[in-house]
């Protein structure tokens, strides 16, 4: 039972354009969501998070949108840069506990930025 | 150290062999997690420590898996009688328990275990 789903295994975007990565979840108890970025042979790196009390959180080129009624979130990267090429994982937890959360991850989306 | 360090980076084990995977968290980090990432999948939670206390081991797939963190710093994940389905990357992550800020876990680079 995949509680966090990333239905697009891969995505290619032209450099300078917007990249939009999508994530859906089924567990209505999830109320804290995170995006991680992973380069080959490295561990995932935290990118951005959002609490369920918000519908948007922005950090530089990265914005995460949350639609709680649709159980959907998305990560927007504007403008996309070659260094953004990586696998992006969506993750969720049932509460924010200052880094002590057990996370449920999606299967990842491989983003390729075309120069 | 500056980051989470895991050793070995790669481990090939014969089926039935016992293995031990080591994690050195960031100094002072209270929380430590182990995740298992199978090929083409996202990381899956195995277990969680707060200091030396193992507060959640609900993700350990069988009693062949055992984790410890006896002094609240270095942690070891042990897998007994390895099976082919244990082949995966094992990720360790640590986090400060900090009410003033949240920057997510810091993951190590993982140990890739291949059982042949």
DSSP track, chain B: --S-EEE-SEEEE-TT--EEEEEEPPTT--EEEEEEE-TTS--EEEEEEETTEEEE-TT--STTEEEE-TTSS-EEEEESS--GGG-EEEEEEEE---TT-----EE---EEEEE-
Min Cα distance B98 → chain A (Å) is: 6
pLDDT at position B1: 54
Q: How many CB atoms lie within 10 A of CB A112?
A: 14
| pLDDT tens for each residue of A28-84 | 999 899 999 999 989 999 999 999 999 999 999 999 999 999 999 999 999 999 999
CB–CB of B103 and A100 under 8 A? no
Contact state of A34 with B104 under an 8 Å Cβ cutoff: yes
Residue B37 confidence (pLDDT) above 80: yes
User: Which of chain B's residues have a Cβ under 8 Å away from the Cβ of A43?
Assistant: 4, 91, 93, 106-110
Say whether pLDDT at A23 is over 80: yes
Count of pairs with CB atoms under 8 A, one residue in A, one in B: 66
pLDDT of residue B103: 65
Cβ burial of A62 (10 Å; 0-12, 13-18, 19+) is middle
Least confident of A63-77, B40-54, B92-106: B92-106
Confidence of residue A98 (pLDDT cuts 50, 70, 90): low
Cβ-defined contact of B104 to A98 (cutoff 8 Å): no
Instruction: Return the pLDDT at B101.
Output: 52
- Specify the range with the lowest mean pLDDT, choosing from A4-8, A12-16, B11-15, B96-100: B96-100
Mean pLDDT, all residues of chain A: 94
Radius of gyration of chain A (CA): 13
pLDDT value for A1: 76
Q: What is the rounded distance in angstroms from the CA atom of residue B44 to the CA atom of residue B4?
A: 18
Interval B70-95 mean pLDDT:
96
């Amino acid at each position: 039972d995949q509680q966090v789903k990333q239905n697009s295994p891969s995505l290619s975007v032209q450099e300078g354009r917007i990249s939009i990565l999508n994530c859906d979840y089924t567990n209505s108890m999830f109320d804290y969501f995170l995006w991680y970025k992973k380069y080959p042979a490295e561990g995932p790196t935290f990118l951005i998070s959002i609490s369920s009390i918000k519908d948007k959180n922005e950090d530089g080129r990265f914005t995460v949108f949350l639609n709680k009624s649709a159980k959907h979130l998305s990560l927007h990267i504007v403008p996309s840069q070659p260094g953004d090429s990586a696998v992006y994982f969506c993750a969720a937890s049932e509460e924010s506990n200052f880094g002590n959360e057990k996370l449920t991850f999606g299967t990842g989306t491989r983003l390729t930025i075309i120069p | 150290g500056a980051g989470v360090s895991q050793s070995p980076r790669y481990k090939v084990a014969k089926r039935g062999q016992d293995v031990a995977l080591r994690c050195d968290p960031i100094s002072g980090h209270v929380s430590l997690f182990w995740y298992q990432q199978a090929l083409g999948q996202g990381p899956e939670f195995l277990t969680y420590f707060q200091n030396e206390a193992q507060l959640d081991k609900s993700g350990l797939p069988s009693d062949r898996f055992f984790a410890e963190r006896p002094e609240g710093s270095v942690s070891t994940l042990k897998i007994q009688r390895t099976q082919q389905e244990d082949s995966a990357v094992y990720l360790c992550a640590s986090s400060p328990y900090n009410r003033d800020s949240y920057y997510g876990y810091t993951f190590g680079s993982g140990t890739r275990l291949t059982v042949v």
